Amino acid sequence: MKIGSFDLHKDGTYIIAELSANHNGSLQTALDTIKAAKEVGANCIKLQTYTADTITLNSNKKDFLIDGGTLWDGKTLHQLYNEAHTPWEWHEKLFMYAREIGIDIFSSPFDKTAVDFLEKFNPSAYKIASFEITDYELIQYVASKGKPIIISTGIATIEEIQDVVDICRDQGNNNIILLKCTSQYPAPLEEANLNMIPNLASTFNVISGFSDHTMGSTAPVVAVTLGAQVIEKHFILDKSIGGADADFSMDKKEFLDMVTAIRDVEKLLGTVDYKVSQKKLQQRRFSRSLYVTKDIKRGEKFTHENIRSVRPGYGIHPKHLNSILNKVAEKNYFFADPLKLELQ
């Protein structure tokens, strides 16, 4: 599967820098954040496309008040989303700028009008946020556009995950990526459950990844070792600018360190390959082989006292030791001579 020009089967881990509310109401900050995401090695900058009115209702009723120990307790949903949204009139500039500097860009739509709006920019993919996984109509509409669809599974039951996978496939869209996600902000490490990542891939026959809200880079790096092919992390220019998502976002240094660690992990994981490479062949000279440990005259027998398995590896393989013992030497051998193939 490809996202834009990035091939998930060949090019490594696709790393998404989530802009979210980290523009803090400034178009210039948003543009600067895109540039910074490119500089620290992200493959993509991701937006969120909604208005307060497309995502919730402007109500002060108890249902719409945020509580429960979140970063936003005391606000209404409408207040939070009005503060955090990315103005739609910015999108054209953001898409154009990202493409100009060579970083991929797409967005999370939160209703069908956002999908229609985003289609004008031909995004390389769409992202479904955790809390929208239950909006089957939205997912069906996004899937119908034929682009890769990345779905966070933070609050979903296994039945709901199966439902949305089926919805996408019913639309002829098999470019499905499921992200393990813990929908807490920030998320405690003990709630990460990263072993879900390979299970999502095998259970639903999709590509899996990780949308991370933990602090630091340990979780996304470990996720890659478990098979995550997509990593999403909130990104901010500088935490001092504040904003709704600043507390659990990575700044430039933190994000760069994460990207570096992920790329190192990719090198460490490598591939399953039992072939003996040229480098391995060169190193095999330091392996063990059979050598003469005591002068042997022609007609004498080979014994444990006069041949041994030692380093280096220029003699014959130690597996031949038992077949050589008690054979009669047909010539003279001297201390530290390698035994050769003709003795097998």
On the question of pLDDT at 16 being above 60, the answer is: yes
On the question of pLDDT at 344 being above 70, the answer is: no
Coil, helix or strand at residue 83: helix
Q: Are 138 and 112 in contact (CB under 8 A)?
A: yes
Would you state the structure tokens that stand for residue 331, as one six-digit string?
Answer: 């010539």
Range 57-77 average pLDDT? 86
Query: Which residues fall within 8 angstroms of residue 166, CB to CB, at 6 or more apart?
Result: none
pLDDT-derived band at 246 (thresholds 50, 70, 90) equals confident
pLDDT at 241: 82
pTM: 0.89
Coil, helix or strand at residue 283: helix
How far is it, in rounded angstroms, from Cα 107 to Cα 124? 9
pLDDT-derived band at 343 (thresholds 50, 70, 90) equals low
Average pLDDT, the chain: 94
72 versus 10: which is more confidently predicted?
10
- Which domains does the chain carry? 8-50+85-269 (3.20.20.70), 278-343 (3.90.1210.10)
Span 250-266, pLDDT tens digits: 999 999 999 999 999 99
| Cα dihedral across residues 87, 211, 220, 148: positive or negative | negative
On the question of pLDDT at 157 being above 90, the answer is: yes
Span 101-152, pLDDT tens digits: 999 999 999 999 999 999 999 999 999 999 999 999 999 999 999 999 999 9
Among candidate residues 66, 339, 342, 107, the one with its CA nearest the CA of residue 232:
107
Amino acid at 239: K
56 versus 185: which is more confidently predicted?
56
Span 171-200, pLDDT tens digits: 999 999 999 998 787 888 999 999 999 999
Q: Are 225 and 269 in contact (CB under 8 A)?
A: yes
Span 282-315, pLDDT tens digits: 888 899 999 999 999 999 999 999 999 999 999 9
Q: In degrees rounded to 5, what are phi and psi of residue 203?
A: -70, -40
pLDDT at 182: 86
pLDDT-derived band at 277 (thresholds 50, 70, 90) equals confident
Q: Are 83 and 54 in contact (CB under 8 A)?
A: no
